[in-house]
Amino acid sequence: MNYIKLFVTVFAMALALNASAQSKTTAKSKTAAPAKTTTTAAPKKTTTTTTARTTSANDRPSATRSSNKGYDPDVHFMLETRIGSGLGENLVLEKEFHKYVAVDFFSLGYTSENWKFDTHKISAKTGARGFSPRWWGGRMRAYTDLALGYDCVIFSLPGFSETSHGFGLTWGLGIHMLDHFYFGYSLDYTTISMNIGGIASVSGGATSHFFKFGYRF
């Protein structure tokens, strides 16, 4: 009987130890390792660079060169007619260097000093002109011009003829319209003096007055 009790006692102890071991194993298995945190990199930001297109003068609607730059740098011929104490024509080669200043490289002119057409004046001069600020949307501007140079006067009557040379001055003022048309007043002064056989004379310091209009090509 003692052996049986000993066996039962050992068996009970073995069951108890086994149950204790299983309990510890179960407790360990219930304590799970912390889950690994996977860090996903944020997508790289895409920087969009917008290049603004610069509008050049050539992309803009067409406009006159004078409105873009304030003045027209091209060389122009001007043909003008003068009416007053006689009838005259003048050809001018002009170039603007500033919106307020231009140079007349040369001007060649003919004027009949009277309406009988017996006195003729041929001139070759150089000068400059100045302009006012534009108005009426840039369509109009005032001007003044001054030219200095050479005068040749030819006086002719049946049986009489004389030619004289001297200094000449031309001054004027007026209005330019639409960059092409202009009109105004012109004054001519010459130092030439002539006396043909006591019949007719052109005295030194003679001054003539004209109404002038022209076209700028």
User: pLDDT tens across 115-141, in order?
Assistant: 888 889 999 999 999 999 999 999 999
pLDDT digits (tens, 9 = 90+) for 51-98: 445 444 444 443 345 544 678 899 999 999 999 989 999 999 999 999
Mean pLDDT score, 182-204: 75
- CA 164 – CA 55 distance, rounded (Å): 61
pLDDT of residue 5: 61
Tokens encoding 62? 């067409």
Mean pLDDT score, 34-40: 47
The 3-state DSSP class for residue 66 equals helix
The 3-state DSSP class for residue 53 equals coil
pLDDT digits (tens, 9 = 90+) for 133-173: 999 999 999 999 999 999 999 988 777 788 999 999 999 99
Read off the pLDDT band of 9 (50, 70, 90). Answer: low
Tokens encoding 67? 């409105």
E strands, the chain, in order: 75-84, 87-98, 101-112, 119-131, 140-157, 160-177, 181-190, 194-196, 200-202, 206-216
Tokens encoding 121? 């004046």
On whether the CB atoms of residues 160 and 194 are closer than 8 A, the answer is no
pTM of the complete model: 0.64
Share of the chain above pLDDT 70, in %: 63
pLDDT of residue 2: 55
Nearest CA to 84 among 128, 121, 49, 57?
Answer: 121
